[in-house]
Amino acid sequence: MTEQKNAENGHSEELSFWRKYVFSTDHKVVGKQYLFIALFMAILGGVMAYYMRWQLAWPETAVPGAGWIPEPTAFGGIIPPEFYNALTTMHGTIMVFFVGMPFLLGAFGNFLLPLMIGAKDMAFPRLNMMSVWTLFLASLVMIASFFVEGGAASAGWTGYAPLSADPIHTGVTWGLNLWILGLALEFTSFLMGGINFLTTTITMRAPGMTMYRLPLMVWMQITAAVIFMLSVGPLIAGAILLLLDRTVGTGFFIPELGGDPLLWQHLFWFFGHPEVYVVLLPGFGAIMEILPVFSRKPIFAYKTIIWSTIIAGALSFLVWAHHMFVSGMDPRLAMPFSITTILISVPFAVVIFAFMATLWGGSIRFTTPMLFALGTVMTFIVGGATGIFNGSAPVDIFIHDTHFVVAHFHFTLFPDVFLGGFAALYFWFPKMFGRMMNETLGKIHFWVTTIAFNAVFIPMFVLGLGGSMRRVYNPLQYDFLKPMQGINEFITYAAIVLLLGQFIFMFNFFWSMFKGKKAERNPWNATTLEWSVSYPIPHDNFATIPTVYHGPYEYSLPGNKSDWQPQHEENEPVSG
């Protein structure tokens, strides 16, 4: 790899359009490519959510905007049960693997990590390019799965066997095979990315950039990379077996053939729980950069945050069966997994308290990124707290597979992926595109998104406690759910507002990219290295590699005239 790196570092010749913007090895271009894939897939996932919400509020009526879908997938906009199942499955799959991961790890990890550590690029630029194109291919496979005979995967985003193991249960044939293939490609993409993140951070930090001077965003990215790498392997093995069951006719997960369907659940959640932290940590990493900047205070308990997240990452391998309390596994496992689940909330509570302590006594500036960052923390607390309900076996047995659970995980993932992701995007947009996003539109976007989000998911807790089952196609089929139909309609109105509110963002995003106010080099007066280079950042980032003298969050140091101390400047900046 090293020889090609030399060639790339010593580039002076003009690169062709294709090498510069399409098959680029520049981590900044790769990061932006991840960003666009994530935003595109988010639109798909959002439209699917809209179709599902309409069906739940006004079952089996024509969905406005679904008339174009050909038969037999839908019938003049009316969504049949088979398509509804595919929608729930693919919404989950797309939002977690094709939005959450590309947005937070792919886009911001790639764009920021080399800049933040003071490196000229990733350790393996070509592997980096391959990782984004592998994800692109994976996305195409996932989209294609809608158009094959039998439709897209419809065994739930968790793909539980035996539902997923034999096509006779769902009628889905190639759709689910492509689902497995698409996920396999996605896993490959992020394994390649993770190898790059880890190797780059360990071997290519600028002089003076010790591990304890790394911005927390970098720590969160590499912790997430390790967690992903260690959790996904057994699921890859399981996915091979599932594919063999479906194509060759083996019976690894089919009870009639001597298989064990429960094993799939173990494999899925051994990966699935760590996976939520893979998505969560980089989102939190963005928050950890933004809170100090707009509080003008050092982050509270820097090392404690690092070790809390590492402990949480380690514990995340010991909690998976809290998803399986009613699955028929040995009930003696319920107690230990309840205990580990309650334990894992401790390190996260520590991190949340560190966020609050960072704000305490700071001079807070309510910019758009700061609003989104604060919104992330506030909404995540609800998600985290309700997780303790789900994780305690006695409570979970009552609320399992109800909309309570759906509300819970949306209260963890939505704030993280979207509120946290938007916070990051508004914050680093000037570094990515050289212009500022519009603050007024940004603030409107924030309030619409946050209020509508809460209006969708707080009532959903009530729905779940009332016994409403998740994945149910038509709630009106059940007499005991009929009195709660008004809640379903309210949720759908709120969801439509939530989705429409994103047009504000899309307009702001594209308008600002071309017409926004030109950004200064360091518009937020931040300390970390990415703010030391001017837009457009050259392919090799730094003309000379900076030397790092300070930790990442030296704001409002006593005795300094200016209230920030860039990491790469030995003394306080003169242009205070």
The pattern of x and - marking residues 479 through 518 that bind other proteins according to CB under 8 A reads ----------------------------------------
Q: Which of Cu ion, other proteins, none does residue 199 bind to, with CB < 5 to 8 Å depending on kind? A: other proteins
273 binds, among Cu ion, other proteins, none (CB under 5 to 8 A by kind): Cu ion
DSSP class of residue 152?
A: S
Give the tokens for residue 135.
């994800």
Query: CB of residue 27 vs other proteins: minimum separation in angstroms?
Result: 14
The distance of closest approach from Cβ of residue 239 to Cu ion in the complex, given in angstroms and rounded to an integer, is 19
Residue 440 binds other proteins, judged by CB under 8 A: no
Q: Which window, 227-235, 245-253, 267-275, 454-462, contacts Cu ion (CB under 5 A)?
A: 267-275
Judged by CB under 8 A, the stretch of 136-144, 256-264, 356-364, 531-539 that binds other proteins is 256-264
Stretch that binds other proteins, among 56-64, 139-147, 236-244, 322-330 (CB under 8 A): 236-244
Residue 396 one-letter amino acid: D
Stretch that binds Cu ion, among 17-25, 78-86, 270-278, 484-492 (CB under 5 A): 270-278
User: Residue 246, interface with other proteins (CB under 8 A)?
Assistant: no
430: closest CA among 443, 441, 439? 439
Q: Which of residues 531-560 bind other proteins (CB under 8 A)?
A: 545
> 5 vs 443, which CB is nearer to other proteins?
5
- Name the binder of 545 from Cu ion, other proteins, none, CB < 5-8 A by kind: other proteins
Rounded CA-CA distance 355/283 in Å is: 13
- Give the binding-site size for Cu ion (rule: CB under 5 A): 1
* Among 35, 241, 293, 432, interactor with other proteins by CB under 8 A: 241
d(C-alpha 29, C-alpha 194), whole Å:
17
Shortest distance, position 461 Cβ to Cu ion, whole Å: 18
Closest contact distance (angstroms) between CB of 115 and other proteins is: 13
Find the binder of other proteins among 194, 375, 391, 459 (CB under 8 A).
194
Nearest Cα to 88, choosing from 185, 164, 153, 180? 153
Asked if 335 is part of the footprint of other proteins (rule: CB under 8 A), the reply reads no
> Which has the closest alpha carbon to 293: 512, 566, 569, 8?
566
The least distance separating Cu ion from the CB of residue 105, rounded to whole angstroms, comes to 19
Query: How far is the C-alpha of 575 from the C-alpha of 572, rounded, in Å?
Result: 9
CA distance 415 to 400: 22
**Contact indicator for 536, 550 with CB cutoff of 8 Å:** no
Identity of the residue numbered 565: Q
**CA 9 to CA 114: how far, in whole Å?**
14
319 is a contact residue toward other proteins (CB under 8 A): no
Q: How many CA atoms lie within 13 A of 476 on its CB side?
A: 11
The dihedrals phi and psi of 469, each to the nearest 5 degrees, come to: -80, 140
Helix (H, G, I), strand (E, B) or coil at 71: coil
CB of 227 to other proteins, least distance (A): 11
Q: Does residue 394 touch other proteins according to CB under 8 A?
A: no
Q: Please choose, out of 5-13, 287-295, 387-395, 567-575, the segment that lies near other proteins by the rule CB under 8 A.
A: 5-13
* Residue 267 near other proteins by CB under 8 A: yes
Whether a cis peptide bond, with omega within 30° of 0, leads into 331 is no
Per DSSP, helices labelled H in 204-215 are none
Displacement of CA 420 from its chain's centroid (Å) = 9
Q: Which does 9 bind (CB under 5 to 8 A by kind): other proteins, Cu ion, none?
A: other proteins
Residue partners of 308: CB distance under 8 A and separation at least 6: 347, 348, 350, 351, 354
User: Applying CB under 5 A, does 400 fall inside the site for Cu ion?
Assistant: no
- Is 273 a residue that touches Cu ion (CB under 5 A)? yes
Asked if 337 and 365 count as a contact pair (C-beta separation under 8 A), the reply is no
Q: Residues 117, 214: contact at Cβ < 8 Å?
A: yes
What's the min distance (Å) between Cβ of 119 and other proteins? 7
Task: Give least dist CB 254 to other proteins, A.
Answer: 11
Cis geometry, peptide bond prior to residue 536 (ω within 30 degrees of 0): yes
445 touches Cu ion (CB under 5 A) = no
Taking CB under 8 A as the binding criterion, the range among 18-26, 148-156, 197-205, 491-499 that sits at the site for other proteins is: 197-205
Count interface residues toward other proteins (CB under 8 A).
51
Report the candidate in 272, 280, 447, 407 with the shortest Cα–Cα distance to residue 352: 280
- Of residues 240 and 335, the one with the C-beta less far from other proteins: 240
From 61-69, 74-82, 245-253, 272-280, span contacting other proteins (CB under 8 A): 245-253
**Minimum Å distance from CB 30 to Cu ion?**
31
Q: 60 burial class (0-12, 13-18, 19+ CB within 10 angstroms)?
A: middle
Nearer to other proteins among residue 6 and residue 12 (C-beta): 6
Considering beta carbons, is residue 28 or 273 the nearer one to Cu ion? 273
Q: Phi first, then psi: what are they for 347, rounded to 5°? A: -60, -35
Q: List, in order, residues 6 or more apart from 333 with CB less than 8 Å away.
A: 321
Q: Hey, which residues between 115 and 144 contact other proteins (CB under 8 A)?
A: 118-120, 123-124, 127
As measured in angstroms, the least distance from the Cβ of 6 to other proteins is 5
Helices of type H across 125-215: 125-144, 174-203
Helix (H) or strand (E) holding 27: helix 27-57
- Residue 572 gets which letter from DSSP? -
CA 257 to chain centre: 38
Say if residues 227 and 316 touch (Cβ distance below 8 Å). Answer: yes
Q: Which one, 168 or 248, has the nearer CB to other proteins?
A: 248
Partner in contact with 298, chosen from other proteins, Cu ion, none, beta carbon below 5 to 8 Å by kind? none
Query: Which residue in the set 15, 78, 244, 381 belongs to the binding site for other proteins (CB under 8 A)?
Result: 244
Binding site for other proteins (CB under 8 A): 1-3, 5-6, 9, 118-120, 123-124, 127, 191, 194-196, 198-200, 202-207, 209, 229-238, 240-241, 244, 248-252, 257-260, 263, 267, 545
Binding site for Cu ion (CB under 5 A): 273
